[in-house]
Amino acid sequence: MKDRTESVRVHYAKATSARVVRFIIAMATVATQSIILCAYAAPLEASADTTPGDALQEIVVTAEKRESTVQKTPISMTAISGDELLAQGVASVAAVASETPGISMRSAGPGQTEYEMRGLSSTGGSSPTVGFYLDEIPLTAPSAASAGKVAIDPDLFDLNRIEVLRGPQGTLYGSSSEGGTIKLVTNKPTLDRFEGAAQSIESDTDGGGFNYGGNAMVNLPLSDHVAALRLVGSYKYADGFVDYKTVSPFPIGYNNGTCFLSICVRGNVASAPVVHDDKRANWERLEGGRADLLLQPSDSLSINLLFMEQDLSMGGLGQVDIPPGPDVSLTHYQPFALSEPFYDRFAIYAGTLKYGFDAAELTSATAYWQRTSSFTGDVSEQFDVAGMTYFGGASYPFLPVQYSETNHTQQTSQEVRLASTTDGRLQWLVGGYFQNYTSTWQQYSANPAYAYLSVPTVPGGNPLTENPLGLFQETNNPYSIKQYALFSQSSYLLTDSLKATLGLRWYRYQSNLVYSEAGIISQTGNATALTGGVATNDSGYNPKINISYAPNTGLTVYADASRGFRPGGLNIPTPVALCGIQVPLSYGPDFVWNYELGEKAKLFDGRFTVHADYFYMRWSGVQQQLGLVCGSVYTANAGLAVSYGPELEIAAELTAGLEFTVGGAYTQASIKSVNPAVAGDTLGPTKVLEDGTALVDVPRYTMSSSLKYTKPLADGLDLTARLDATRIGPMWDFAYYYEQLAAYTLLRGRIGLFRDKRWSGSLFVDNIANKHAITTINNTGYSISIPSLTRGSVTQPRTAGLDVQFRF
């Protein structure tokens, strides 16, 4: 089995253990030296002769729900301004995540990306481990989508900034921020001037086609200094690069026409005759808009009303078949010409009121949003394998089966908080939160020709009358959760340089699942539905303790201990007739304690910054997705896991116009002690869950660097060139088997002309080396996984184009 897995799908890391050790030592050494250097450094305020532009940009953030800067905020975080995103040509959160230390992700394409931080994988459970916010709006992922706990994928045009907060944010952000939080902060209407912006991007992808799109923004003052409206619109079409080929006769393989689990091997599909070729099937189309109304009747009162809507559609998934793998072709091979469209729509309605008192500010954030995503998949090969395994070997017929999935999600949330605004030694914040979330997961797959495979309800019954539609699977699973919380966080300056911060959040949740499932691969084995329901609830506290030392404006050193949690959830019953066992219908919450030491240093009049930290996390009751031999999956509390490692970000203005950045993280995340209740359970048939098992979807290391050069050509006209490199280390993932994916490196470059802030034109090349790397596997698990086929998400091939922007 090991040889077969290595030869067919497993992409083992090429980095040796010695390189990993050197990487850890290098990062730890840099962090230690920076702390020592800054501890003895003189105050680092900018000197009087510092010229504008010498210092690196400071970004105002609201990570602690009050305005500060990254340098002054004593937590591990990264912030990127909207202007910098545009200058880099970054248009998606996934692109930001790939270059940010401490973040990992699994993705089947736009709108289907799940984020993790510091080794806290979201593959199990019904809630994500990373919170996702648009302004004040928590956007919880669907509870049971096949693609995972996927976040929305908004276009990033006219964004003020992105804030990435690493580590548990349980005090201020609640249950969905167990591993960290991603915040998208939009530009707000400007009351005193008319302004606008536009962007046009055209490009071509190697082996694909022509991509094009545009964005526009206009800001309209409605009443001088009282009201303004900001309108943003986006459109994008990206051609595909994965072909869907129908081959006939389909080379079944499967060990000469039989398939018994581990000895099931796929035929040579790459050599089979092609009867239909749907080229570039994974095209993408995005249309969206945002309307933001700001009312400010007085200096004390402001009301912000936001509406945002976006439609995203794809012709197919950006996944290739393994075997044969991306080195052979970027192709999905099919026995029948079945399409795999994906559609994702969300609409957000939000209102934020702020009222300033003499010494405090009241904030009320109300939001309602709804999201619908649907996917249709080709599962003919999956069900053929299942049929041969369980229903008759080589005599089993090969017929087309499409699988459809729909996720309806909606949420109402309300947060009210009061925060101090004085400059005294004591800063405080208190608030309350309520969330009402519902998500319905529906699945359907059938072919009347399979009716005879039904399991009769009673001995001697007629399968054809028990399941006349040949129903493989039909489910309807409404899930709901209500959460309540009270929270407070206060900081006090013990001395002019030493600050202590204490936070506490009380929470309570109630969750409920009602399930209905029928079909050949359900418990009943026919069209008779099995129905039921399970409910769970819990309450508790999330504390936070932070001590920071800032002897001058150029140095902040901090120590942090914080707790996060994720609600428990519910499993859908497994088909006992096929899988041989019934899994527990519920699992409990999991909790994490994070211990962290870090520093933020600013040197040489602000032209050099180094932010470094080392974290250690204990994750109790880990909600881990486990796999059964029959191809079904379920979630269990796997035991105690630990995750630890250094994180580092360095930025330097090397000379006038030459800027260099480098960042990275090393993460060791594994099960330390397996829960005896699940001892012997598996991550796929080849991997028993045991002490030391690496957590999935966690790259061992990530590194990114950039070099940017700006050359003034004339008054207000600059030439800018930049080169970016990203290295993603090896990581474990799990489809039918528990597999290791290889490390890979991506390069991208841009060169352009910039006239003040009025216009720019840039030529760019993404994925310069045209690397076809597998990033994750079987992100869409469909109904079942099979041993003979893995589908892997692949990086977009080399793409070159032109980016033109205007402002007025």
pLDDT digits over 430-448, tens only? 999 999 999 998 999 988 8
Among 326-340, 456-470, 740-754, the minimum mean pLDDT is found in 456-470
| Residue whose C-alpha is closest to residue 609's, from 46, 22, 55, 47 | 55
Bridge partners (DSSP) of residue 699 are none
pLDDT at residue 625 is higher than 50: yes
CA distance 401 to 316: 16
Q: Does residue 610 contact residue 552 with C-beta atoms inside 8 Å? A: no
pLDDT at residue 685 is higher than 90: no
Give percent of the chain with pLDDT exceeding 90.
Answer: 59
Q: Does residue 301 contact residue 354 with C-beta atoms inside 8 Å? A: yes
pLDDT digits over 24-69, tens only? 444 444 444 444 444 444 343 433 333 444 667 788 999 999 899 9
Confidence of residue 223 (pLDDT cuts 50, 70, 90): confident
Q: Which two tokens stand for residue 574?
A: 């497994």
Distances (CA, A) of 184 to 61, 86, 137, 139: 11, 14, 10, 11
Confidence of residue 456 (pLDDT cuts 50, 70, 90): low
Three-state DSSP class for 205?
strand
Bridge partners (DSSP) of residue 744 are 728
Residues 6 or more apart whose Cβ sits within 8 Å of residue 714: none
| Residue whose C-alpha is closest to residue 117's, from 54, 179, 204, 160 | 179
Mean pLDDT of 418-433: 95
Confidence of residue 463 (pLDDT cuts 50, 70, 90): low
CATH code of the domain containing 380: 2.40.170.20
Mean pLDDT of 197-213: 95
| Residue whose C-alpha is closest to residue 696's, from 632, 625, 756 | 625
Tell me what pLDDT residue 628 has: 81
Mean pLDDT of 585-591: 89
DSSP string, 739-786: EEEPPEEEEEEEEEEEETTTEEEEEEEESTT----EEEE-SS--S--B
Query: How many domains in the chain?
Result: 1
Q: Give the residue with greater pLDDT, 453 vs 259.
A: 453
pLDDT at residue 263 is higher than 60: yes
Tell me what pLDDT residue 392 has: 59
Q: Which two tokens stand for residue 395?
A: 């005599």
Mean pLDDT of 98-111: 86
The radius of gyration of the chain from alpha carbons, rounded to an integer in Å, stands at: 27
Mean pLDDT for all residues in the chain = 86
Task: Please state the three-class secondary structure of 622-684 as a single string.
Answer: CEEEEECCCCCEEEEECEEEEEEEEEEEEEEEEECCEEEEEEEEECEEEEEEECHHHCCCECC
Confidence of residue 16 (pLDDT cuts 50, 70, 90): very low
| Residue whose C-alpha is closest to residue 522's, from 535, 513, 532 | 532
pLDDT at residue 542 is higher than 60: yes
Give percent of the chain with pLDDT exceeding 70.
Answer: 88
CA distance 187 to 786: 47
Q: Give the residue with greater pLDDT, 395 vs 687.
A: 687
CB atoms within 10 A of CB 449: 12
pLDDT at residue 6 is higher than 90: no
Tell me what pLDDT residue 745 has: 96
Tell me what pLDDT residue 15 has: 39
* Residue 14 belongs to domain spanning: 2-360+368-807
pLDDT at residue 256 is higher than 70: no
pTM, two decimals, is 0.90
Q: Which two tokens stand for residue 463?
A: 């399968």
pLDDT digits over 472-523, tens only? 889 898 989 999 999 999 999 999 999 999 999 999 999 888 889 888 878 8
pLDDT at residue 394 is higher than 70: no
